[in-house]
Structure 1
Amino acid sequence: MLVYILGVVLFALGICVSVALHEAGHMLTAKAFGMKVRRYFVGFGPTIFSFRRGETEYGLKAIPLGGFCDIAGMTALDEVTPDEAPRAMYRYKTWKRTVVLSAGSVTHFILGFIVLYLMAITMGLPNLTSKPVVSEVSECVRGGATAAEVNDPVCQPGDPAPAKVAGLLAGDEVVAVGGQNITSWSQLLVAVQNSSGPTDITVLRDGQRTTLNVDVPQVTRPVQGGGTEQVGAIGVAPASLLPYGPVAALGGTAVFTGDLLAETWQRLLEFPERIPAVVESIFGAERDPNTPVSVVGASRIGGEAVEQGLWEVFLFLLASLNFFIGIFNLLPLLPLDGGHIAVTWYERVRDWLRKLRGKVPGGPVDYSKLNAVTAVIVVIGGAVVLLTVTADIVNPIRLAP
């Protein structure tokens, strides 16, 4: 239980650090462009301590959930003093304001990349595409009428060991079986099951293609629904994690990050249609593991991952959450940063059109006219948070033991 609590605290701390660095991204880019940053605080609520360095006040609040960066003149509604006016954010060029507003999300992307890179060089990246990489070579291949007989780890005299005898090694990537190209573990499984006797299996080992001759035996395996069948088997297990060296990990992490960002965007598009399942789970329905989770739910999963020693799950979840927050924050909806970016570019396009018609710039957008839309989005967002938190408390998603 103590390990679980430690895992929950560590994951929650990771989220808090991520959000604090999000605000630091805004602050550093704003300062770099010469905008005035009044305050940078970690957390919300009563102030525990603060100090001033230069023109900026830094501090820590009592509730360490996020933080804020107060940039003078972020919107036209923001009151600025006469000395702040020349450096008010709304006076800066569109591209500079866009950089400052997007810096928070970019920080999440960088953090996610760093977490994945550390995973790659220490334990490997998740094999999400089912790449046909061998993680383990069995001492023998067992046949049997039940799963228990097949998975019995004790080898009997005469049990064949085709992969071991042929020289397959952990880390080999199978690229061909019997001349048939292989790109996924499912293809490898089908090709081996349909093979019998001496079969050429080509693997990629240390960047070099090597062809091994494997004597594939036909063994008895149970069939779903009852009965048995004879299939080929060689005694290898798939890799759930793909290891990388320090240099190769840069490219591998970059590709994996791109795939994960695309997957995150797809999940975000599916977000609304999964909300009904969250509501149903609150009232007793089985919780779909693909339904959205709150920070509470993610922290609970992180705690279970640490409790079970699954640090790769802990780190992968932390990286995924950073990517989700980064993408979500760029949606063109107020009060998200993406909403402010949308308004900024609306001003730019509007003034360009006005210039074509010989008119002067229209000035900053009056945010008060957008208050109703913003309020609706805040209410909807608050309702979604309340639903997911409730579901994560009464019917949480759990890791399989």
Structure 2
Amino acid sequence: MAYVFGVVLFALGICVSVALHEAGHMLTAKAFGMKVRRYFVGFGPKVFSFRRGETEYGLKWIPLGGFCDIAGMTALDEVTPDEAPRAMWRFKTWKRTVVMAAGSVTHFILGFVVLYLMAATMGLPNAVVGKPQISSVSECVRSATTDEEYANPVCEPGDAAPAKNGGIQPGDEIVSVNGQRTETYADVTALIQNLSGPTRFEVDRNGQIVPLTVDVVRVDRPVTDPANPSGPQKIVTVGSIGVTFPSTLEYNAITAIGGAASFTGDMFVQTWQRLIEFPERIPAVVSSIFGGERDPNTPVSVVGASRIGGEAVEAGLWSLFLLLLASLNFFVGVFNLLPLDGGHIAIVWYERVRDWVRKLRGKAAGGPVDYSKLSAVTVVLVLIGGAVTLLTVTADIVNPIRLQ
């Protein structure tokens, strides 16, 4: 039941996001005086609708989208005589830009709100940010041949304690190792593992950069063998100083604002990277449909995201559920600014720049862009989008990404 509840709740969150996306278009259009004919959530047959003022509001049976019908979105759209003065294409370029970008901005705001609530109540996962801030300093560093020995070392007199003896304290943020900048704790770990002996560290302690010298020791550690993941662990010798990094970054109601803002920036960077990598990951999706192992980094559909959300709720991982919902909002917001709403914005500004250049040359403003000439491009984008959606939905049904 918890799984089903999680799936339904995540799907509901997506529906709310889409509804608010279209509401962003509607509210900004109304604020500027444009005429909004209809605002509907969903597609397909109509469930119900009602009219308030000049706008019809309604719900349709397929809750996988929605639309906001603004009179005269382009100069080629048919408008009635009473709509003509308030047709969208008649308004200033910046106003039309705001209206068309409002949907994506709504997704960004939703994502930020979700992250703020997480930060203020349960903290934000450091796995995404990778902040190299020390959460604890070990009393000793010992070799270990099992995970149990590594997690629970039994310290004896004379054991090395590099971080403790070197002056590193909980709360310090390691900013460099031997002069090399460390943006994340993964950077710190990667550098330390190859070192031995006295090493120069710089830590940020309450806003002050403090130089330290830490004697890195070489110890044995059990690790999973990449060549045989299901087999016995192998023992490797690595450099260690005896510190741990927080799995969760804690905030209060005030500091959560900055924490959520910083986290939002990191997620924007990751979202952009995922979009760039999107085409090269499609072959892996196709392979997974025909029995190949599903790469957890491959794209997922709304179906797959909802299933993961259900598993997160079933496992009690509400932070993962909320993080996934925020991530989806950022992805949809950025994606809409590329081929969808972004395409309309690009055309609007093309017309503006073109007319400015024509004015400089003493010519009259050109006519509106003929959207019908872009129909071939639109058809190609729709076919590609439909194919990708079909592939990801199929993969999420026959070979879904799972938490375990």
Residue 47 of structure 1 deviates from its aligned partner by 2.6
Residue 377 of structure 1 deviates from its aligned partner by 1.3
Separation of aligned partners in 2, 1:231 and 1:346: 57
Counterpart of 1:337 in structure 2 is 341
Alignment of structure 1 residues 182-261 onto 2, 5 Å:
183-186=183-186, 188-189=188-189, 191=192, 220-222=220-222, 235-261=242-268
Residue 233 of structure 1 deviates from its aligned partner by 5.0
Counterpart of 2:133 in structure 1 is 133
Q: Which range moved further: 147-156 or 259-268?
A: 147-156
AA of the residue aligned to 1:382:
G
Distance 1:81 1:237, change over 3 A: same
Counterpart of 2:230 in structure 1 is none
Separation of aligned partners in 1, 2:241 and 2:361: 75
Separation of aligned partners in 1, 2:103 and 2:120: 26
CA displacement 1:80-138 (0-9 Å, x = unmatched): 11111100111111111111111111111111111122222222243435322234566
Aligned residue-pair number? 394
AA of the residue aligned to 1:75:
T
Mind listing any 5+ residue stretches in structure 1 that lack a counterpart? none
Separation of aligned partners in 1, 2:329 and 2:223: 42
Identity %: 69
CA displacement 1:197-237 (0-9 Å, x = unmatched): 9x998765665778999998875544777885776656543
Counterpart of 1:319 in structure 2 is 326
Counterpart of 2:380 in structure 1 is 376
Counterpart of 2:228 in structure 1 is none
Separation of aligned partners in 2, 1:256 and 1:100: 27
Q: Which range moved further: 127-136 or 178-187?
A: 178-187
AA of the residue aligned to 1:289:
P
Distance 1:338 1:212, change over 3 A: closer
Question: Is this contact kept in 2: 1:163–1:234, CA < 8 A?
Answer: yes
Give the TM-score of the pair, scaled to structure 1.
0.84
Question: Is this contact kept in 1: 2:137–2:164, CA < 8 A?
Answer: no
Residue 304 of structure 1 deviates from its aligned partner by 1.6
How large is the Cα RMSD of the aligned pairs? 3.5
Counterpart of 1:73 in structure 2 is 72
Question: Is this contact kept in 2: 1:90–1:364, CA < 8 A?
Answer: no
Separation of aligned partners in 1, 2:176 and 2:353: 55
Separation of aligned partners in 2, 1:200 and 1:272: 42
Distance 1:163 1:299, change over 3 A: farther
Counterpart of 2:399 in structure 1 is 395
Distance 1:186 1:56, change over 3 A: closer
AA of the residue aligned to 2:286:
V
Separation of aligned partners in 1, 2:113 and 2:264: 10
Give the TM-score of the pair, scaled to structure 2.
0.83
AA of the residue aligned to 2:32:
F
CA displacement 1:280-323 (0-9 Å, x = unmatched): 11111111222111111111111122222222222222112111
CA displacement 1:341-360 (0-9 Å, x = unmatched): 12212222333344345444
Residue 17 of structure 1 deviates from its aligned partner by 0.9
Separation of aligned partners in 1, 2:163 and 2:361: 78
Q: Which range moved further: 220-229 or 78-87?
A: 220-229
Counterpart of 2:10 in structure 1 is 11
Distance 1:292 1:160, change over 3 A: same
Mind listing any 5+ residue stretches in structure 2 that lack a counterpart? 226-232
CA displacement 1:57-96 (0-9 Å, x = unmatched): 2222222222111111112332211111100111111111
Separation of aligned partners in 2, 1:65 and 1:306: 22
Distance 1:227 1:15, change over 3 A: closer
Q: Which range moved further: 234-243 or 285-294?
A: 234-243
